Structure 1
């Protein structure tokens, strides 16, 4: 007759040396696990951010339609939607670049044969016109100087750039696929993981641990709304302005503006480049319109809308939100947009409880 193994005694019944040894073993295994997954930690973090940001909508649909027999359809639909959000803009940019490839090749050939035509606005400069015109004709207007410029810029670097770009692209695609795979399972098992995380936080840190977790989640929700959604709104508005102003590839520049606008005070880099392109075409008035509209939209977004969306959700002063965003980007890269404010929100929560303002 087969004997069943004896039940493992509870942890609190173990002796102190056993508890210390078990804690050391758990810490060692945790460090080994992190070291094993070190190349995928960024993908895991992105998947967690997407899951947290979309979980309210996902939970609402679960309550409305249920999970189904195998709980696959809804997680797969949300994962596909996240993939489409990234693939569609990249595909749009790729199509635009493919359409412009032949034109760029013809332009490079024409430059090496005839030089670069001097922009019309140089003739309208209030001062320094003769010096700029002389330099342009000597270095860019002359076919020999333009040919040297093209060779110095592209020659010998194209192969290296293509190889580096290819390696980076393969790495990014692999990380993105792993992010989507992780995201699918987070949606599928999210309810169980949430319950386990809450129990673990309460067991390890008491009620304060659960409050910190809730504050971090609220910070991520607020950051997604304040950075991503507001950034997309800025890109849409300025993209319309670009199209009206006659900017070439206005859709692509609008997309770049939306991406840059997710980082506070980064959008001006893009719309100032757009204004310079309009200046090069001689459209001085439209360049001024783009600059004016750009600063107006970003000023309203950065000083009124974002503080309400991010600070209102986390009860965090906007100064700390801004420091968390900028410091997070500096230390963690793009994912620091969400890590930075979350860390600041948790620290402010601990500070408020420490000084006796009570749990937030």
Structure 2
């Protein structure tokens, strides 16, 4: 007699029901993971910018970190290496700020004396106004009526003590305190990243390869190269613009030419910010009556900035990332407009991703 197979209870799940249950569990697990990740990002949302800045600096210095880590002085001493790199970065930022503040404090006394003299006697008409080819009479009349008289009771002086100015001062102080806090946390994050060393980069590439395959790991590597090339392009161009304009400041007679050249180099690392610095220097020359020097400084500075921003910087960044000129320019400007200062580095990285995806699509 052939034995009958055991009867399947009517409520017990069959093979298809078990597969559906497993699929639902996987979907629920993915939803849970995504929800936990989003919740974690929301908790640390105020520190995402800090981590992003630390990541940009670490990516830019990663080849140098590997080279120094292989030397006999730092081999196997990851904590010492991280400490040295973090202290060097802190000094590179804090030392110029300290020098600028010290110079500003030295100039504060003279500025205060000039401010008192303006209140009592007004501002004298600059000599260059009389040498203008047109509009001399109109400018002189307006100047005599508004600026040549004692300004103690003028609306401009009253506005300096208004509630709006006090509010702007408090807002500036709050922003400065926030920037100092971000910088401090960035240094701590950088120390942790430097201390992790190659283990961190290896873990990131391993996670990208496991999650997205070899193409995902290659994409992460391309993004790192793009960020590194962007930082190199910004620094090289900024230093070059600062050096050239520093010489121009010295030739035209602008005071503190070296310090002003350093400030210009920092500003030139941001797209189209150098004209603010040499424009103010040209304005100072104009007020002092040096019309030819002011015009020469503006013309020379405009040529330097135009060549650097439209040709040198895109070429430097594009060669390292193999991006076309237009994508580099759009990446820098669009990233700055969308993400602020951090977007200068994120933009070219995203353009690199777009270029890699396009290349894979057409091949």
Q: Could you say which structure has the larger radius of gyration?
A: 2
1:208-287 equivalences in 2 (<5 Å)? 208-287=215-294
3-state DSSP of counterpart to 2:254: coil
TM-score using structure 2 length: 0.89
Determine if contact 2:118/2:151 at 8 Å carries over to the other structure. Answer: no
After TM superposition, list the pairs within 5 Å mapping 1:166-177 onto structure 2.
166-177=173-184
Decide whether the 8 Å contact of 2:78 with 2:194 is kept in 1. Answer: no
Structure-1 separation of matches of 2:115 and 2:259: 22
Q: How far did 1:280 drift?
A: 1.4
Q: How many residues align?
A: 343
Corresponding residue SS for 1:64: coil
CA contact (8 A) 1:139 1:146 kept: no
Answer whether contact 1:115 1:146 (CA < 8 A) is retained: no
Q: Among residues 57, 69, 77, which one is paired with 1:50 in the alignment?
A: 57
Contact 1:43–1:175 (CA<8 Å) still a contact in 2? yes
Q: Displacement of 1:161 after TM fit?
A: 3.0
Partner of 1:350: 357
Structure 1 consecutive aligned stretches of length 4 or more whose deviation exceeds 6 Å:
none
Structure 1, 14-23 or 253-262: larger mean CA deviation: 14-23
Matched, 1:74 2:72: no
For residue 259 of structure 1, report the CA deviation from its aligned partner. 2.8
User: What is the alpha-carbon distance in structure 1 between the residues aligned to residue 178 and residue 242 of structure 2?
Assistant: 28
Contact 1:111 1:147 in 2 (8 A): no
Question: Could you say which residue in structure 2 is the equivalent of 1:165?
Answer: 172
Most deviating of 76-85 and 276-285: 276-285
Segment of structure 1 superposing worse, 257-266 or 153-162: 153-162
Q: Which runs of 5+ in 1 are unaligned?
A: 1-13
CA contact (8 A) 1:212 1:349 kept: yes
Deviations 1:126-178 (A, max 9, x none): 11100100000100101147743222244444432332222222211111110
Q: Deviations over 1:280-312 (max 9, x none)?
A: 111122223312321332233234422321001
2:24 maps to which of 17, 20, 24: 17
Match of 2:78, SS?
Answer: coil
Farther-moved stretch of structure 1 (19-28 vs 151-160): 151-160
1:39 is aligned to: 46
More moved, 236-245 vs 203-212: 236-245
Q: Counterparts of 1:246 and 1:133 in 2: how far apart (Å)? A: 26
Deviations 1:189-236 (A, max 9, x none): 031111111111111111110111111111111101111221122112
CA offset at residue 109 of structure 1?
Answer: 0.9
Alignment pair present for 1:184 and 2:191: yes
Equivalent in 132, 140, 156 of residue 147 of structure 2 = 140
